[in-house]
């Protein structure tokens, strides 16, 4: 009997059917990374309001990580699907529903929670911030994100009306032959758990997906100008784009309306809406 045969006859099937002490049950949570793009209040009547890429954080009231900020999250019920749990928590904490949500990654480092073993499946939500306004709890706040990359390090500065904080993660290739990497937290004072990793992973995912999908329209109001849309792309990608090229690429995804946005100290702009059938 070979070593492998022995294994298959015992361990695989064994593990499927039994639950020995080594494999005791663990807790599963879900954390929701809610991204949106917010606008500055307009200072100069000529200029377009500056846009900020932002994330919703919640201040913890109890230990561990008391007074630190974290992503909204909670335990997955024993009879609850993962995405259902994420939507329940999202609805409870932000009062919104029917939002774009996708599974991001499952974080399972043994020591990621100081209390006990907790594995967390994170979800990424993309919202139009106006749908939430006025409903935020005292403990929740939007933080504008500013990303600075130097070498393999990424510094993420977070700024709300009240607070400023930042963390630094290092992007580390796990495999030289692919874009398979993970992040390591280099600096972090104010964020709870391994949430810097979740945020970094989400930024990465969004920056990728914005290039080949239409997810960005989940962060837009129903009607928008192409200038505003371009600003959102620029804000998320962290780079300037050339308007003619942007318009060429985006033109099949949007539909002109007969509405026009006036009021800026410049030529008025046609309002567009998302065209899903193309």
Residue 35 and residue 3: Cα distance in Å, rounded? 50
67 is an interface residue for a copy of itself by CB under 8 A: no
Residue whose CB is less far from a copy of itself, 106 or 148: 106
Residue whose CB is less far from a copy of itself, 44 or 180: 180
Q: Which stretch binds DNA (CB under 7 A): 9-17, 96-104, 140-148, 239-247?
A: 239-247
Segment (H or E) for 169: strand 164-173
Q: Which of 47, 130, 133, 164 binds DNA (CB under 7 A)?
A: 47
Q: Which stretch binds a copy of itself (CB under 8 A): 73-81, 222-230, 234-242, 265-273?
A: 73-81
Tell which positions 118-137 bind DNA, by CB under 7 A.
none
Cβ-Cβ contacts under 8 Å for 20 (sequence gap 6 or more):
none
DSSP-assigned beta bridge partners for residue 269: 261
200 is an interface residue for a copy of itself by CB under 8 A: no
If DSSP codes are grouped into helix, strand and coil, which group holds residue 78? coil
276 is an interface residue for a copy of itself by CB under 8 A: yes
Q: Which stretch binds DNA (CB under 7 A): 24-32, 77-85, 142-150, 262-270?
A: 262-270
178 is an interface residue for a copy of itself by CB under 8 A: yes
Residue 265 and residue 275: Cα distance in Å, rounded? 29
Cβ-Cβ contacts under 8 Å for 12 (sequence gap 6 or more):
none
Residue 69 and residue 160: Cα distance in Å, rounded? 12
């Amino acid at each position: 009997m070979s070593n492998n045969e022995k294994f298959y006859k015992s361990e695989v099937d064994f593990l499927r059917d039994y639950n020995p002490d080594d494999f005791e049950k663990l807790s599963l949570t879900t954390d929701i990374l809610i991204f949106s793009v917010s606008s500055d209040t307009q200072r100069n009547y000529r200029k377009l309001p500056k846009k900020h890429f932002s994330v919703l954080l919640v201040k913890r009231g109890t230990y561990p990580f008391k007074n630190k900020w974290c992503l909204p999250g909670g335990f997955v019920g024993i009879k609850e699907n993962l995405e259902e749990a994420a939507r329940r928590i999202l609805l409870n904490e932000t009062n919104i529903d029917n939002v774009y949500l996708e599974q991001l990654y499952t974080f399972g480092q043994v020591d990621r929670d100081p209390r006990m073993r907790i594995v967390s499946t994170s979800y990424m939500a993309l919202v139009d911030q106006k749908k939430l306004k006025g409903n935020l709890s005292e403990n929740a706040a939007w933080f504008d994100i500013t990303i600075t990359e130097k070498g393999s390090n990424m510094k993420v500065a977070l700024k709300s009306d009240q607070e400023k904080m930042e963390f630094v993660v290092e992007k580390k290739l796990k495999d030289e032959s692919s874009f398979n990497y993970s992040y390591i937290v280099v600096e972090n004072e104010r964020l709870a758990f391994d949430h810097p990793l979740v945020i970094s992973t989400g930024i990465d995912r969004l920056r990728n997906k914005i290039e080949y999908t239409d997810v960005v329209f989940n962060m837009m109001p129903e009607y928008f100008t192409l200038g505003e849309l371009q600003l959102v792309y620029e804000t998320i990608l962290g780079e300037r784009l050339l308007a003619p090229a942007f318009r060429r690429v985006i033109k099949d995804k949007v539909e002109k309306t007969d509405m026009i946005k006036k009021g800026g100290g410049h030529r008025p702009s046609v309002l567009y809406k998302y065209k899903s059938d193309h």
